[in-house]
Structure 1
Amino acid sequence: MKSYHLLQMCAEPSENVSLLSLTAHGITNNYEKVSIILKCEQLEGPHTGEIVANNLNNILQDWGLSNESVHCISRDKGSNIMKAMSTANFPDTNCTIHQLQLCVRSATETEEFISPVVTKCKKIATHFHYSLIAQTELKQIQTERLNQTELCIVQDCSTR
């Protein structure tokens, strides 16, 4: 198996328990994606950058990995996590999924943004619901052109 190139670090509060997890991502010699959770542990006490960096270094040591073997750590934008990366001298980058979640949350909290989007989606769903030609064409695009399984349009119904 080829060496791992990306580490993903996640600190999430869950049921009043703070967790720190470190996952290694890589590819095999056959170019298959591999993800291994190296450790997921409870963080007690303050979550300072120094404490997080120390925990990450300990996890790497437990696995016999050096800091030089870390290509990049994907992380959220918490100031303590960013400080941990700096303290431990790890190459790091923002987690794209976390950034996307923040954007979606911000957008959905803005009524003037979400209302027109919901209205457009309902119009599209209604069009497919009433048009057999559109349903047939959508099915053909999904199955024949895109070689995907057929997915149905879900229509919003306030009574369900």
Structure 2
Amino acid sequence: MSAVWKYFKVSDKDPKFAICSLCSAEISRGGTVPRHFSTTGLIHHLKTRHPVQHSDYKKTVPLPKSDSGSTPSVATVFEKVKKKFASDSPKARAITDKIMEFIALDDQPFSVVEDIGFRRLMQHIEPRYSLPSRRYFADTCLPELFCSVRKHVQELMTTDIIAISFTTDIWSSDVSPTSMLSLTAQWIDDKFQLQNILLNAREFVGSHTAAAIADTLKSILDTWHIEKSKVHLIVRDNARNMAKAMEDSELKSIPCMAHTLQLAVNEGLLSQRTISDIVSKGRKIVGHFKHSPLAYSRLQALQIQFGMPPKRLQQDVATRWNSTYYMLQSLFEQKRVLAAYIADYELPATLSAHQWMLVENSFSSISI
């Protein structure tokens, strides 16, 4: 109840009025129904007729809130919205970190931050955010993210792990002469969950000797403070230099089953001249349609004509024997279409009836 009622009481005759206890004046309460009643009239009466009592009453009223706690004006709000975040503000920093995570997790190029569509999206989501340059993401944000992830991985690796298994390989891209050596760790944590972390993928320069491989693996293990006693096993390929590197490093290792199978298939099946000729011709046929949009459109039209769904021929990878199987299988599925294509257009290579029979006998009956 308002402190002003110290000087008033509700009229017994009509509750719409209040009686001043100082001068017995009858003051309207400002409405005809209780929900409309207010003390404005009572305070005004006290101020004009009884200033001393009004001064005492004001002492009991809380002071108004400061400007910092009051509702901001519309102009203030708009001015705040237009003002850009400082580059080191928590909000701007959080957005920048999330963009860096997006680039890293989705394998995006740093140039994505300069693409007009991405910049428009960020402008729409948060107009107050100023998008840094691609160089800032590459030179500052990426090293910071790497350090953060490395610290987290280091914490995982320093837990009570009894044994860790590894996989390693030396590989290179078909379009780049650069060789890379990678090492991946796997272990079971205390919650019996499998952990799988790529510890390192570094450029491997120089000759791929057993000594060079052993030195690189030792460097990686030392970087992560992994003792040899914790190395349960390392899965590697069948190359002699890799096997000797493990032996020289006194690390237990076994050859990769997939690589062993690749060697077995190459030795037992693909080393046969008749089969290798078929594979060679198959690669030329697939390559013809892969590199010629016109040829592929003609093939697609024939597929539709034969009531078949449009489908590209499968390209194989020489080091993946199952991809060679899929290539020959896709060619065999399109045998009728290819025969119709040859009737009107040229191909760099064709399979004879005997070779088609070998494809059917050698590959179509294999179940992978």
Q: Same fold, TM exceeding 0.5?
A: yes
Structure with larger Rg: 2
Shift in Å at residue 28 of structure 1? 2.4
Shift in Å at residue 81 of structure 1? 0.5
The one-letter amino acid of 1:120's match is: S
1-structure distance, mates of 2:199, 2:164: 14
Q: Which residue is 2:361 aligned to?
A: 116
| 2:214 alignment partner, SS class | helix
Deviations 1:115-146 (A, max 9, x none): 4143436xxxxxxxxxxxxxxxxxxxxxxxxx
Structure 1 stretches of 4+ with a deviation exceeding 3 A read 1-4, 103-108, 111-115, 117-121
Do the aligned partners of residues 117 and 19 (structure 1) sit closer, same or farther apart at CA in structure 2, a change above 3 Å counting?
same
Q: Give me the identity figure in percent.
A: 28
Q: Which residue is 2:260 aligned to?
A: 99
Quick one: which of 175, 187, 191 aligns to 1:30?
191
2-structure distance, mates of 1:27, 1:48: 32
1-structure distance, mates of 2:358, 2:252: 36
Q: Which residue is 1:18 aligned to?
A: 179
Shift in Å at residue 65 of structure 1? 0.7
Bigger fraction of residues in strand: 1
Q: Which residue is 2:167 aligned to?
A: 8
Please show how residues 1-160 of structure 1 align to structure 2 within 5 Å. Answer: 2-14=161-173, 15-106=176-267, 109=270, 115-120=360-365
Do the aligned partners of residues 31 and 83 (structure 1) sit closer, same or farther apart at CA in structure 2, a change above 3 Å counting?
same
| 2:262 alignment partner, SS class | helix
| 2:191 alignment partner, SS class | coil
Bigger fraction of residues in helix: 2
Higher mean alpha-carbon deviation, 29-38 vs 100-109, is at: 100-109
Relative contact order higher in (CA < 8 Å, ≥ 6 apart): 1
1-structure distance, mates of 2:235, 2:250: 14
Shift in Å at residue 98 of structure 1? 1.5
Question: 1:6 touches 1:25 (CA, 8 Å); kept in 2?
Answer: yes
Question: 1:107 touches 1:113 (CA, 8 Å); kept in 2?
Answer: no
Structure 2: stretches of 5+ with no match in the other structure: 1-159, 271-355
Shift in Å at residue 108 of structure 1? 5.5
Q: Over the residues paired in the alignment, what is the CA RMSD in angstroms?
A: 2.4
Question: 1:5 touches 1:25 (CA, 8 Å); kept in 2?
Answer: yes
Question: 1:107 touches 1:114 (CA, 8 Å); kept in 2?
Answer: no
Higher mean alpha-carbon deviation, 95-104 vs 62-71, is at: 95-104
1-structure distance, mates of 2:184, 2:357: 39
Alignment TM-score, normalising by the size of structure 2: 0.30
2-structure distance, mates of 1:114, 1:4: 46
Shift in Å at residue 55 of structure 1? 0.4
2-structure distance, mates of 1:85, 1:112: 45
Q: Which residue is 1:147 aligned to?
A: none
Structure 1: stretches of 5+ with no match in the other structure: 122-160
Question: 1:53 touches 1:85 (CA, 8 Å); kept in 2?
Answer: yes
Shift in Å at residue 2 of structure 1? 4.1
